[in-house]
């Protein structure tokens, strides 16, 4: 099981290195298609989710992250496109591999 104190964040998503978790970066880099995604900071994976539209889901997370009371602020996101029939299995695999800090990763 990976440690949450990585020196370098393991990135198992097909997209590769995380993109910046900003509105401009999400608009420019996240697809408006089905898939799985992860939110991270420089030390840990915070959340792994799945969505019909990755870009829309990330924008919603960004709106939520900008509210008070969020203990861990994401600074990056990664994703991979995946058909709806395979998303849940892939998300569950990523949760097992990456052990995100947020216990309520979407089902």
Show the 3-state SS of 55-94. HHHHHHHHHHHCCCCCCCCCCEEEEEECCHHHHHHHHHHH
Q: Which residue segments constitute the domains of the chain, with CATH numbers given?
A: 19-98 (3.40.1440.10)
The pLDDT of residue 8: 44
The pLDDT of residue 40: 92
The pLDDT of residue 17: 78
The pLDDT of residue 66: 74
Rg, the chain, Cα only: 13
Distance CA 89, CA 95 (A): 10
The pLDDT of residue 68: 61
Structural tokens at position 86? 């395979």
The pLDDT of residue 102: 80
Global pTM exceeds 0.85: no
Q: Which helix (H) or strand (E) holds 39?
A: strand 35-40
Q: Which helix (H) or strand (E) holds 47?
A: strand 45-51
| Length of the chain, in residues | 107
Residues of the chain with pLDDT under 70: 1-11, 68-70, 103-107
């Amino acid at each position: 099981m990976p440690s949450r104190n990585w020196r370098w964040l393991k990135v198992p998503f097909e997209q590769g290195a995380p993109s910046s978790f900003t509105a401009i970066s999400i608009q420019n880099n996240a697809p408006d298609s089905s898939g799985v995604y992860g939110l991270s900071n420089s030390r840990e994976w915070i959340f792994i989710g799945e969505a019909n539209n990755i870009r829309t889901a990330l924008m919603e997370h960004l709106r939520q992250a900008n509210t008070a009371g969020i203990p861990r602020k994401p600074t990056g996101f990664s994703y991979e496109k995946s058909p709806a029939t395979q998303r849940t299995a892939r998300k569950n695999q990523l949760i097992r591999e990456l052990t995100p800090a947020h216990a309520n990763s979407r089902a």
